[in-house]
Structure formats: C-alpha cells, structure tokens
C-alpha cells in the first residue's frame, strides 16, 4: 500500500515534470556546444583581479529560449535640444510595446534623476554621462531589449565610444540623427532652456556656447522640421526591421 502510493506519487511527479525536463534537455542539446566566449577575455585590462563571468547563452540563444521573436539592439538618437529626440523615442517605444516587443527608452533627463545624478554639463561630465548610458544601453540590448536612447550626445568621440561598446559586444547599434537647424530648435524651446542660455543663466548649452558635432554618417537622418512624428518613428522602426532585429511574427505599422 505504502510502496504503491510512492510509485503513484513518483509517476505523478514524473508526469508533472516531463514537459519541463523535455524543454531542458532540448535546450541542452541545442545550446550547450556553443556557449559564447567573452569578448573581453578572462580579466579586465584595468585590473587583472576583475574576472569576467562568462555568459550562459549568446543573444540569439537567449532569444530562442524565451521565444521573444526579436533581438535586442540600441537605437541611439542624437541631436540638438528641441530637435525631437524624446518625442520620437517615446513614440517608437510605444509602438513597439503595442506590437508586443520588449522595448525600453533611456532618456537624457531621466537618467540624470538617478544613474547620472552626480554629473553636471561640463565636457568631462557629458562624456561620463554618455559612457554610462552607452554601457547601460548595451546591457539592455544584450538582454534582448530594443533600447532607444534620447541624448543630445553632442561630441563625436562619445558617440563613437557608444558604437564601439556595442560593436565589441556584437550588438546592433543604430545612430539616428534628429536633425533640425538651431533657429528651429530654439523657436521650439520645449523646456525654455534656450531662453535661459541666451540670458546667460545656463552655461555649456549645446548650440549656444558648446559644440554639437554633426554626425557624418548616421544610420538614419530624420529632418524633424519637415517630417511628422509618426513618419519619424515609422522610419526608425523600418530601420530596426531592415537590420533583422524583428521577425515576421510581428505585424508592423511601419
């Protein structure tokens, strides 16, 4: 009686766990041989006592395991204050989420509430701001998120670093230039910052007393004075699709 109930319990347990163990063994067969090797080597260049803990799966394997149907990438929107970065980033994020994709937006002002709250706007602080955001975006992209960033990112060196961080980790990086001339950006002045900069209440303001390096070869250039917001977000989503990040399972409006 006792042993029969143990057998029954074991059978019930086996039945319950069969699907999970089948998935586990299929995953093992599929994925064990090709565990991704770290791009950085075993120890950090700046400190040999910092050792990289190797990833379990490549981004493609991760995508397959969770059935995401899309990969991760970073859409890096650069441009003058008032060029439309935040507006476009929000629209892209909304559209992708409504289609069922994992998407997340990192906004210039928002990160300065937390991650970068200790940084100001001197050239060195701006560079450190962009370096931190680049690393964060790369982690998000590696986790399978379509990450959209909205930062003025005025210096070409910082944008090049953002691209390098992604490319070293074999992650797709799209530089999108929200382009508008200074006069139009200033006439929009959504936060009243140009007015303050002109009045001398703000220093190091991009376009006024700090430089903006025009991207030479962006992956996408959006002329936001001539295009509607949906047209801009549609162009971004089409570009993401063209890079093979999104599979056919998603119905795109773009």
Ligand X SMILES: Nc1ncnc2c1ncn2[C@@H]1O[C@H](COP(=O)(O)OP(=O)(O)OP(=O)(O)O)[C@@H](O)[C@H]1O
Selected binder of Mg ion within 86, 102, 136, 153 (CB under 5 A): 86
145-to-3, 89, 169 alpha-carbon distances in Å: 50, 14, 15
**Toward Mg ion, which CB reaches closer, 83 or 134?**
83
- The entry of Mg ion, ligand X, none that residue 163 binds, CB within 5 to 8 Å by partner kind: none
Q: Which of 83, 134, 153, 233 is catalytic?
A: 153
User: How many Cα atoms within 13 Å fall on the side-chain side of residue 136?
Assistant: 18
Contact between 158 and ligand X by CB under 6 A: the answer reads no
Q: Which stretch binds ligand X (CB under 6 A): 49-57, 78-86, 133-141, 209-217?
A: 78-86
Distances (CA, A) of 199 to 193, 204, 208, 209: 10, 13, 11, 12
> How near is the Cβ of 236 to ligand X at its closest, in Å?
11
Minimum CB separation from ligand X for residue 156, in Å? Answer: 17
- Inter-CA distances, 224 with 91, 135, 171, Å: 14, 28, 27
Which residue carries 């980033």 as its tokens? Answer: 89
153 catalytic residue (yes or no): yes
Query: CA 130, 132, 134, 137 torsion: positive or negative?
Result: negative
Does residue 150 belong to the site contacting ligand X (CB under 6 A)?
Answer: yes
Token pair 């999108």 is at which residue?
Answer: 176
Interacting residue with ligand X among 62, 63, 70, 85 (CB under 6 A): 85
Q: 169-178: string of b/e by CB count within 10 Å (b at 16+)? A: bebbbbbbbb
Site string for ligand X, 89-118 (x = CB under 6 A): -------------------xx---------
Query: Which of the ranges 27-35, 62-70, 76-84, 153-161 carries the binding residues for ligand X, by CB under 6 A?
Result: 76-84
Contact in structure between 43 and 50 (CB atoms under 8 Å): yes
Parallel/antiparallel/unpaired status of strands 73-78 and 146-150:
parallel
Q: Minimum Å distance from CB 167 to ligand X? A: 25
Q: Are 154 and 126 in contact (CB under 8 A)?
A: yes
Q: Which part of the chain contacts Mg ion (CB under 5 A), choosing from 14-22, 41-49, 81-89, 124-132? A: 81-89
Number of chain positions touching Mg ion (CB under 5 A):
1
The catalytic residues are 153
Q: Which residues bind ligand X (CB under 6 A)?
A: 79, 81-88, 108-109, 150, 152, 178, 188, 190-191, 224, 227-229, 232
């Amino acid at each position: 009686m006792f042993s029969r109930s143990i057998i029954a319990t074991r059978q019930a347990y086996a039945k319950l766990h069969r699907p999970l163990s089948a998935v586990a063994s299929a995953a093992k067969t599929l994925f064990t041989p090709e565990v991704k090797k770290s791009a950085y080597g075993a120890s950090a260049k700046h400190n040999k006592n910092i050792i990289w803990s190797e990833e379990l799966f490549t981004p493609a394997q991760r995508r397959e395991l969770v059935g995401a149907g899309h990969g991760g990438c970073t859409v890096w929107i650069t441009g003058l204050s008032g060029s439309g970065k935040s507006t476009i980033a929000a629209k892209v994020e909304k559209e992708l989420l409504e289609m069922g994709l994992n998407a997340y937006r990192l906004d210039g002002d928002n990160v300065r509430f937390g991650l970068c709250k200790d940084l100001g706007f001197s050239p060195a602080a701006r560079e450190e701001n962009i370096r931190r955001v680049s690393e964060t975006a790369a982690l998000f992209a590696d986790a399978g998120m379509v990450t959209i960033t909205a930062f003025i990112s005025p210096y070409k060196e910082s944008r090049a670093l953002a691209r390098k961080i992604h490319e070293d980790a074999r992650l797709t990086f799209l530089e999108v230039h929200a382009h508008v001339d200074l006069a139009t950006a200033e006439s929009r002045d959504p936060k009243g910052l140009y007015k303050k900069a002109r009045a001398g209440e703000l220093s190091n303001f991009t376009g006024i007393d700090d430089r903006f390096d025009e991207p030479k070869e962006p992956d996408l250039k959006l002329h936001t004075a001539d295009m509607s917001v949906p047209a801009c977000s549609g162009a971004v989503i089409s570009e993401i699709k063209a890079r093979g990040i999104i599979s056919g399972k998603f119905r795109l409006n773009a």
